[in-house]
Amino acid sequence: MQISEDAVLLRIFIGEGDRHHHRPLYEAIVTRAREMHLAGATVLRGPMGFGHGAHLHTAKILRLSEDLPVVIEIVDTEDRIRAFVEEIEPMVDSGLITLEKATVIRYGKKGS
């Protein structure tokens, strides 16, 4: 698979405790991205954050949060990302979904 130099970065900010059909929402989103043959997806777990409700989620040693911030990043062409957002937007009850332009420098192994 090739990605053109002009691409879009999709970021989905959710909580680790968010669910979709009894499984972690981040897992459901990444699985759907794979099914739709997007270029790739990465899930990042944050040690601290807050969102719309301003409730602080933190991973302090004495108080482990069960709902730490999670960011899912996916880069692909704008058309493919927008089609994907339409698919997953109903799955995200709360959170933040953003798009920004990205320039792909390399995708895959050098020389592939």
Tell me, yes or no, whether 16 lies in a domain: yes
Tell me, yes or no, whether 112 lies in a domain: no
Tell me, yes or no, whether 92 lies in a domain: yes
User: 34 near 4, Cβ under 8 Å?
Assistant: no
Tell me, yes or no, whether 42 lies in a domain: yes
Which CA distances in Å does 10 have to 1, 27, 59, 100, 105? 18, 16, 25, 7, 17
At what angle are helices 25-35 and 78-88 packed, to 10 degrees?
A: 140
Tell me, yes or no, whether 1 lies in a domain: no
Tell me, yes or no, whether 33 lies in a domain: yes
**Domain at 69, CATH number:** 3.30.70.120
Q: Which domain holds residue 10?
A: 6-103
- The tally of domains found in the chain comes to 1
Determine the pLDDT at residue 5. 84
pLDDT in tens, 46-89: 877 777 776 666 666 555 556 789 999 999 999 999 999 999 99
Tell me, yes or no, whether 65 lies in a domain: yes
Tell me, yes or no, whether 108 lies in a domain: no
Average pLDDT over residues 11-40: 96
Q: What is the pTM of this model?
A: 0.85
